[in-house]
Chain A
Amino acid sequence: MIVEIGHYALALALVLSLFQAIVPLWGALKRDDVLVALGPQAAVAQLLLISLSFAALTYAYLVSDFSVSNVYENSHTLKPLIYKWSGVWGNHEGSMLLWVLILALFGAGVAVFSRRLPSDILGATLAVQAMIAAAFLAFVLFASNPFLRLGQAPFEGRDLNPILQDPGLAIHPPLLYLGYVGYSIVFSFAAGALIVGRIDAAFARMIRPWNLVAWITLTLGIAMGSYWAYYELGWGGYWFWDPVENASLMPWLTGTALLHSAIVMEKREALKIWTILLAIITFSLSLLGTFLVRSGVLTSVHAFAVDPERGLFILMILIAFIGGSFTLFAFRAKAMESGGLFAPVSREGALVLNNLFLAVAALAVLVGTLYPLALEGVTGQKISVGPPFFNLTVVPLMLPLFVAIPFGQRLAWKRGDLLGVVQRTGVAMAIGLVATLATAYAIGRGPALAILAIGLGLFILLASLDEIRERAMRGGAAGAFRRLLGLPRTFVATALAHAGVGIMVIGIAFTAFEKEAILSMKPGDSVKLGEYTLTLRGISPYSGPNYTSTVAQFTVHDGTREVAELRPAKRLYIGRQMPTSEVGRHRVGLSEVYVAIGETSDGAHVDLRAYWKPFVTLIWLGPVLMAFGGLLSLSDRRLRIGAPRLAMRRPRRLEPAE
């Protein structure tokens, strides 16, 4: 019964979204505020209906209702509770339901928080958001329905794919989707502004909070996915340039560009056409990512069931929205006056440079991801475009961008003084240089690029933090602390986010210095990993709730002192008879000893892959700091949604007292 209610709620949400796609838009075009006012109500109601639907599916999972086909295919009574819960989105149908839930969440968010939006833009934006929702609700209901019942309920389910049974998976997809789908509202704002035909600095102000929320969650989602791949897949890598990873990286690159170009639009009323275009492109890339991941044209852990019909459905949605928005853009682009020229050496010049490199990098990733599909479609030849291609194209595009960060954030608007800026980054540059030389000396030899990258990372990190100090100390040490607290949050946010980039660069550079050992060991054997010694103590069986496993006990010694015991394991999940690896890790500060075991064919030997990974944690700490910067920027009072603008209040204060 509850499942049927969920199913019905979803159908109702589809009808409601069609209503919301038409009525507020009509209101916006006819300047009828009463009709527009129906939009926010519909958006909130839609969120409630889809939440109800999602809750119903969650309920079916929690009680293991195997009469529902989707639950039968992806759950098991022995599965721990948290994975019953996360199993809701660990499959194609459920993940698409989460997709529309988040879509509705952002629509309702705009409806609730953006009361001060101009009525026509609000109406048009909510209508566009509802069009997207209608398309995907139709997809869920007609092509990927999670509520279908089985004729006869089986006694036991088929279990969730075991490598998805991990706490990381409980949060990775929702985070990633919040980011991916979050750009839908930015897209809707852009389409709404184009429909209404009013594009000015206010647009940048309107999209700012939503853009930030989407960017923060996408950043965290990608970092989480990378960390999950690192500890769950047992390969020791953090990024594989897998097409599915690229699908999430592309909207991140253009979304980051959008974050920066919107600042220029807000402060200088320039880059208007480009900012609107970026908003459209970013969500288009999110849609493309959804298509690539969910259609099964790519083979990966993310492609659940391969169904050409579904692929075609999403492809049609993709074409309709990308085609529609670009047509709209082409019609209105002429009407948008372009901003004036500005000096190349200025804050806006630096932000344009940022956009240029990010956009071109996104293009390189796009080409590398789609080329194999295109080639196969045209010539039938199957190829793979792997890390060598992306390292050749993306890395050279990122390096100049990274170098520019410390200078760009110090340049003044309109006319910057590059020489002065270089002088002000002098200390950081000197420390970076010394660090580069020190690293080169300490490590002795190593890839020159990696050593340079460590220096570069340190330079970005120090220069970013130094700017905060510089501002706080302006006017002497006295009152520096008070000034520090009084600094605009957006300013501190920028510095922290950029420091995060530096930290990530250092972490990635250090992967060039990791130590690897791939060997076969028997109990009593030892292997040296950097400063540490890894010893196999024994191999023993173990039974978990829904798996059996072979556990290898290792001890880690630093000299003669035992510092840790590691228990990497090979698991066999009973439901699907599928083996997985559990990695053993020992963290030393920011570095890690990492062990993954393979087959234990004869019971006496164990094959293993062990690493010493210096400063590996920095790779994910960097993005976390970036996201924190975003959060801080979101919390800046001056720019919070709905906060009255200073310009509107000031004249009133100047009125003479009566």
Chain B
Amino acid sequence: MTRKQKRLMILGGFGLVLVSALALILTGLRDQIVFFRSPTEVLAGKVRTGEAFRLGGLVEQGSVQREPNQMVRFRVTDGPNTVAVTYQGLLPDLFREGQGVVAEGRLDASGAFTASTVLARHDENYMPREVADALKKQGHWQPGKTDGPPKP
């Protein structure tokens, strides 16, 4: 093998790995990302039926219903709008009414949201940032409340 061929071979191999990795990354960024939506955006029709997304807001007061087989129904609100959620499984430790929540799942044809994962906060004075922003947008942000973000 001449020096030139050798160099071509090495560079070719590098290029091949890099190109395939970039292709994987771009495919991933196109297909494997999940958008965050507030109830207002959901009701405005920004989400297609069957598309996976994250729904964020507050768990509406008095909306949590526990049923047998660990089935839970609750509503997520950002103030003016609410979306009904069903979820089967164990809820996180800090899931409570009136507090921030992020649920990942899909809308079915009837417009009901089935969650595959429910995320709550890590400590008692922390609000998922996405939720805080969604609430701010709807003018329902009350920084004085304990469930707001911690003071700077």
Contacts and interface: CB of A to CB of B under 8 A. Distances in A.
B36 A599 contact: no
A578 B121 CA distance: 11
A393 interface: yes
Interface in B114-146: 122-124, 126, 128-130, 133
A251 to B, nearest CB: 19
A383 interface: yes
**What size tier do the contact residues of chain B reach?**
35 or more
- Most A C-beta atoms less than 10 A away, residue of B9, B89, B90, B91: B90
Interface of B: 3, 6-7, 9-10, 13-14, 17-18, 21, 24-25, 27-29, 32-36, 54, 66, 68-70, 88-91, 93-94, 122-124, 126, 128-130, 133, 149-150, 152
B94 A305 contact: no
Given A161-B122, A578-B123, A360 B21 contact: yes
A576 B21 contact: no
Nearest to B6: A341
Contact of B14 (A163, A356, A580, A608): A356
A101 to B, nearest CB: 25
B88 to A, nearest CB: 8
A422 to B, nearest CB: 19
A396 interface: yes
7 contacts: A299-B126, A364-B25, A383-B36, A385-B34, A393-B28, A599-B66, A609-B90
State the main secondary structure of chain B at its contact with A. Answer: mixed
B32 A388 contact: yes
Contacts of A163: 122-123
Interface string A352-381: 000011001001100110011000000001
A601 interface: yes
B9 to A, nearest CB: 6
- Most B C-beta atoms less than 10 A away, residue of A341, A383, A581: A383
A479 interface: no
Interface string A573-602: 000111111000000000000001011010
Interface string A555-582: 0000000000000001000001111110
List the 3 shortest-distance A-B pairs measured between CB atoms, nearest first: A382-B36, A389-B32, A388-B32
Contact of B35 (A307, A344, A383, A392): A383
A300 interface: yes
B128 A299 contact: yes
- Most B C-beta atoms less than 10 A away, residue of A305, A344, A382, A601: A382
Contacts of A299: 126, 128-130
B33 A577 contact: no
- Most B C-beta atoms less than 10 A away, residue of A163, A360, A364: A360
Given A305-B150, A307-B152, A578-B124, A518 B89 contact: yes
Contacts of A308: 152
Contacts of A519: 69-70
Given A519-B70, A578-B94, A368 B152 contact: no
Contacts of B17: 356-357, 360
Given A393-B25, A576-B124, A599-B91, A360 B18 contact: yes
A367 B35 contact: no
